[in-house]
Copies of this chain bind each other. A is one copy, B any other.
Amino acid sequence: MDRLKKTGMKLTPQRMAIVKHLDGNKSHPSAEDIHKAISPKFPSMSFATVYNTLESLKDNGLIKELTIESGKKRFDPDISDHHHLICTKCRKIVDLPEDISMPQPALASAGMIKGFRILSAQINLYGICPGCSRTDS
């Protein structure tokens, strides 16, 4: 919340609600998830506001946008250098434990490849989660 103030963004009630909802949230919510979650408190809040706010938060480095699911954006308040496991069956998204984290993102975030100045890396591992494995086989 302090970090929000530091960005110079205006502290509107809607924004604060969104930030509060995201804080510590490990569910990697989509814009719709967020809108739905906050609707009870701000029934009039529009999608435009949600998208605008998420865009601003992203620009200010307070959240990350994940490109994990083809159809929709997801957002992650955890801006640390981590990656994700996605269950292709139930679509659950889980943070990848740091100790399995990769040396390459380091390489990537520092370096140049093919003349590209690399700014960030996103690693998605797709598989079947324990729950779905059980149902499966």
Chain A positions near chain B (C-beta within 8 angstroms): 65, 67-73, 85, 87-88, 94, 96-97, 100, 102, 104, 108, 113-130, 133
Contacts and interface: CB of A to CB of B under 8 A. Distances in A.
Contacts of A97: 113-114
B123 A123 contact: yes
Given A94-B116, A127-B117, A102 B102 contact: yes
13 contacts: A65-B70, A67-B67, A67-B68, A85-B114, A85-B118, A87-B116, A88-B119, A100-B113, A113-B127, A117-B128, A120-B125, A121-B125, A124-B124
B124 A118 contact: no
Nearest to A133: B117
